[in-house]
Structure 1
Amino acid sequence: MANIRDVAKHAGVSVSTVSNVLNGRTDQMRAETLVRIQQSMQTLNYFPNRVAQQLKTGQAKMIGLLVPSIVNPSFAALAREVDLAAKKRQFRVLIGNTYRQIEEEEAFLDDMFSHGVRGIIVAACDIEKAHFARAAEQGMVMVNYDGRMPTRAQSDHYALDSVSMDNIEAGRMAAEHLIAQGCRRLAFATVEGMTPSRAHKIEGFLRAVQYHGLYREGMIIEGQAMAAYGDTEMTELGRALALKISQQPVFPDGIVAINDALGIGLMAGLHQAGIHVPQQISIVGIDNIPLAGLVFPGLTSIMPPLREIAEVMVDRLIERTENPDMPPEEFLFSPSLVSRQSVR
């Protein structure tokens, strides 16, 4: 089935230009461009309003979920919980895999409009980008996941909810656990490319080490991703960082990983380098993905209450779709520690 990107390519225009046609914004468009797009839609049998008409009859209910990469186990776990929460309310979930690329995010938003979807969960993306603001102004209800409330959230046309684990507390809790178990030379392993949630985890980590007088230069160890932000390559990045750490003259005795996938890759790389976890280096991950309890040694991790988070996000989407005048709210969930064998 053709989508909006296929129409744009066939007509030789941008996705946003096709979106303007779908949403009736053609007053500034050249007549020949409009005709070319309409002909492309007919040629490709692209009928964007078909599902929207079905929605009006009450025969289908859908919400959208935009994630950077479903390959990342953290986002896969989120998608599962959102899907389960939606099904309990007789809704289905359409997932957009955008790799944090603006064109893909814009295309996903346009696809949601064309399918009649009026509520989406935006996971771990910069919700203050212009295309999200435009979507909100056009009536799209959004929940911002894994980020704090945007500064523009109180504006008349940009009201949205923010739902997240307390990432500052997650970073602090991970560092505190390592310190309590006797670690004194700590490090935080992450990937280049800062997002709000990553910055908050690092902030919490630094608060803990500074409080205990353990701060030193070079505590943040970053890996270079092949693609921006490294969402699809976390385990490989962890393995590469392990090699980097093993070559240091004095390596850390406790490491907080930005997420479990990177932490698992880190453990595999350290094992290959002949460094024993947890005897020589203790490791704590963040997210508590299912694989964390299956690897050896089991990865100690900071766990978000993902099921409760998903329930709130789906409920708020449905409620705000039915009542757009509801004031925006921020929901911040406390993390918890799941202790396994990766910490001495």
Structure 2
Amino acid sequence: MAGVTIYQVAREAGVSPSTVSNFLNGRPERMLPQTRSRVAAAIDKLGYRPNRAARQLRTGQNQVIGLVVPSVANPFWGSFARMLERAALADGYRVLLCNSERDPERERGYLDELWADGIRGVVLCSSLPSLEHVLPLVDAGLSLVAFDRTAQAGDPAALVNISVDNVVGAHLATAHLLQLGHRRIAFVSGSLRSVNRRDRFRGFTQAFEEAELDPAGAVVWSGGAEQEPYGDLDAAELGRKAARELLAAPDRPTAIVAINDMCALGVSAGIRDAGLAVGGDVSVVGFDDIVLADLAAPPLTTVRQPIAEMAAAAFQHLRSRINAPETGPSQSLLMRPELVVRASTGPAPRE
């Protein structure tokens, strides 16, 4: 039923509007158990939904935060959303989830709607180099935590950036392959326009330089990703396409570093399509350590992000900014990744 008010709920339950208000605002000690049951039954029957913006005007608080991720088609973002929600629920907050596909206009549209609904804190996971499209909302008072992104020139003064050290992670992955004797190593990414992807590519090239090898000799596969500039959609298919093209070359790579695990799983499928063995003929390393990584055949070597710790930190920093907006200048929190070696990598095959 549209437009149901607390007065209608009160009439249905046979109580006063203030009793309904106490129920909605978490003050059950002010009523008898049977009264709580009647109010709950009336709310269910009438389909009443509290107006969060109106409640914020009355109480000065809104126990809801926003979460904007690129796409939950990548299980990493689904896991992050679950971990963030766990941290938020433990402190009495709820989470509204939006998928932006790293589209600045779509991000701004979601943030406008969240702001209009009285939500004053958002975790933004786009990793875009510029946040200019959301600056008006930040200037108006929106508290923002940027996830999977390091500080960039032009960032808002009070922004908090939280990320794994993507440079270190990609360096660990590439150095592992170099130690196994691989020299023809491909980096499969899609576009390199986002901050996290640029950092992973930087770690890849640094590993070559530290081994006194020319990174210009490595193969970088972007797949002509101008049509889908950030490479989050259909990452597995992107990896499969990359493997198909790379393995058709006369001097094919013996190892592939993929931008994330979903891409790496697609690469592995493409290697099998070519009649080759993953971890034997061609080694593969992913990034994220999603739940599917250990279930793959063979299990995927990958770079593990401390996702539970990062989600908890994102919520705690966001809550602090919401409760005390003037808490100081911007901050960047980098967490160290971990290389998890499984059967998708092995020694470089002999020529």
Match of 2:343 in 1: 341
Deviating runs (4+, > 4 A) in structure 1? none
Q: Which amino acid aligns with 1:205?
A: F
Q: Which amino acid aligns with 1:148?
A: T
Unaligned segments of structure 2, at least 5 residues: 3-49, 347-351
* Matched-pair contact (CA < 8 Å) for 1:284–1:301: yes
Cα root mean square deviation, aligned:
2.1
Match of 1:70 in 2: 72
* Matched-pair contact (CA < 8 Å) for 1:68–1:125: no
Aligned pairs for 1:75-224 (under 5 A) are 75-126=77-128, 128-153=130-155, 158-215=157-214, 216-224=216-224
Find the aligned partners of 1:146 and 1:250 in 2 and give their Cα distance: 35
CA-CA distance at 1:244 after TM superposition: 0.3
* Matched-pair contact (CA < 8 Å) for 1:185–1:214: no
Match of 1:325 in 2: 326
Task: Give the match's secondary structure for 1:207.
Answer: helix
Task: Give the match's secondary structure for 2:334.
Answer: strand
CA-CA distance at 1:218 after TM superposition: 4.9
CA-CA distance at 1:89 after TM superposition: 1.2
CA-CA distance at 1:301 after TM superposition: 0.5
Q: Which amino acid aligns with 1:217?
A: G
How has the CA–CA distance of structure 1 residues 333 and 205 changed in structure 2, closer, same or farther, with 3 Å as cutoff? same
Identity of aligned residues (%): 33
Task: Give the match's secondary structure for 2:95.
Answer: strand
Find the aligned partners of 2:335 and 2:299 in 1 and give their Cα distance: 25
Task: Please give the per-residue CA displacement for 1:147-173, whole angstroms capped at 9, x wherever unaligned.
Answer: 1113234xxx64110100000001101
Find the aligned partners of 1:308 and 1:122 in 2 and give their Cα distance: 17
Task: Give the match's secondary structure for 1:330.
Answer: strand
How has the CA–CA distance of structure 1 residues 187 and 214 changed in structure 2, closer, same or farther, with 3 Å as cutoff? farther
* Matched-pair contact (CA < 8 Å) for 1:127–1:144: no
Find the aligned partners of 1:249 and 1:304 in 2 and give their Cα distance: 35
Match of 1:6 in 2: none
CA-CA distance at 1:295 after TM superposition: 0.8
Q: Which moved more, 1:292-301 or 1:72-81?
A: 72-81
CA-CA distance at 1:59 after TM superposition: 8.2
Task: Give the match's secondary structure for 1:191.
Answer: coil
Q: State TM-score, norm by structure 2.
A: 0.80
* Matched-pair contact (CA < 8 Å) for 1:137–1:158: no
* Matched-pair contact (CA < 8 Å) for 1:260–1:301: yes
Unaligned segments of structure 1, at least 5 residues: 2-48
Find the aligned partners of 1:295 and 1:224 in 2 and give their Cα distance: 28
* Matched-pair contact (CA < 8 Å) for 2:129–2:194: no
Q: Which moved more, 1:235-244 or 1:66-75?
A: 66-75
Match of 1:46 in 2: none
Task: Give the match's secondary structure for 1:182.
Answer: coil
Aligned pairs for 1:45-64 (under 5 A) are 50-55=51-56, 56-57=58-59, 61-64=63-66
Find the aligned partners of 2:61 and 2:237 in 1 and give their Cα distance: 44
Task: Please give the per-residue CA displacement for 1:186-207, whole angstroms capped at 9, x wherever unaligned.
Answer: 1211102521100000001100
CA-CA distance at 1:103 after TM superposition: 2.5
Match of 2:261 in 1: 260
How many residue pairs match? The answer is 296
Find the aligned partners of 1:164 and 1:292 in 2 and give their Cα distance: 21
Q: Which amino acid aligns with 2:236?
A: T
Match of 1:287 in 2: 288
Find the aligned partners of 1:185 and 1:106 in 2 and give their Cα distance: 42
* Matched-pair contact (CA < 8 Å) for 2:247–2:253: no
Find the aligned partners of 1:334 and 1:71 in 2 and give their Cα distance: 25
